[in-house]
């Protein structure tokens, strides 16, 4: 399902600010397995997740998801395999858009976009209302509220729902 083999990542290579963030990291996860990575600040936890997600290229090694080598693929191409919740609750959502608009964007990830189809359908609105009600945060009654008006915890809950709407093969949770 996820196979990370001997990956390395160095920032600012060849300068006085050189930082080896990942040195020979390997991991093999099968379907249904999960792993928790623990370490202090600067240990490379977020760098590892960013490497898997394709935020920046690794220096060496390989990353496979579902048997597909994604090492050289860009972040937006890898997104079809991944759901992701970022460490910062302000990341991963569009603050100036409504809750239901953010959810609709997540639900449509990977689909072709038509310039003539904007907005949220009545069916989508009801689906999002039901999903949010399960979180028991009162967000089902605030579907048209801007995400930027939510508390950090509420925003993380919306981000988690967005990350799992499409049933990703791999879910990356950063703190």
Convert the pLDDT of each residue in 7-51 to its tens digit.
Answer: 999 999 999 999 999 999 999 999 999 999 999 998 999 999 999
pLDDT digits (tens, 9 = 90+) for 124-155: 999 999 999 999 999 999 999 999 999 999 99
- Residue bearing tokens 């990956």: 7
Question: Could you give the angle at the alpha carbon of 138 between the alpha carbons of 133 and 144, nearest 5°?
Answer: 90
CA nearest neighbour of 27 among 44, 15, 10? 44
Facing residues of 63 across strands?
4
CA nearest neighbour of 60 among 99, 23, 112? 23
Q: Report pLDDT for 115.
A: 59
> φ and ψ at 7, to 5 degrees?
-85, 145
Q: Report pLDDT for 99.
A: 97
Facing residues of 60 across strands?
8
Q: Report pLDDT for 171.
A: 95
Q: Reply yes or no on whether the pLDDT at 175 is more than 90.
A: no
pTM here? 0.86
Q: Report pLDDT for 150.
A: 96
Q: Report pLDDT for 92.
A: 87
pLDDT digits (tens, 9 = 90+) for 82-113: 999 988 888 889 999 999 999 999 998 867 66
Q: Report pLDDT for 116.
A: 55
Q: Report pLDDT for 60.
A: 98
Give the rounded distance of the alpha carbon of 21 from its chain centre.
Answer: 20
């Amino acid at each position: 399902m996820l196979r990370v083999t001997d990956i390395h990542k160095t920032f600012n290579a060849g300068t006085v600010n050189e930082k080896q963030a990942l040195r020979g990291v390997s991991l093999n996860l099968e379907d249904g397995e999960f792993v928790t990575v623990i370490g202090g600040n600067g240990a490379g936890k977020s760098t590892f997740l960013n490497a898997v997600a394709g935020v920046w290229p690794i220096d060496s090694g390989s990353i496979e998801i579902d048997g597909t080598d994604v090492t050289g693929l860009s972040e937006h191409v890898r997104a079809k395999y991944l759901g992701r919740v970022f460490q910062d609750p302000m990341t991963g959502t569009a603050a100036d858009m409504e809750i239901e608009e953010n959810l609709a964007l997540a639900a449509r990830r990977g689909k072709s976009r038509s310039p003539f189809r904007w907005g949220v359908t009545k069916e989508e609105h009801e689906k999002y209302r039901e999903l949010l009600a399960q979180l028991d945060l009162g967000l089902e009654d605030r579907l048209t509220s801007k995400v930027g008006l939510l508390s950090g915890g509420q925003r993380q809950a919306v981000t988690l729902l967005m990350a799992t709407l499409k049933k990703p093969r791999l879910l990356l949770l950063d703190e």
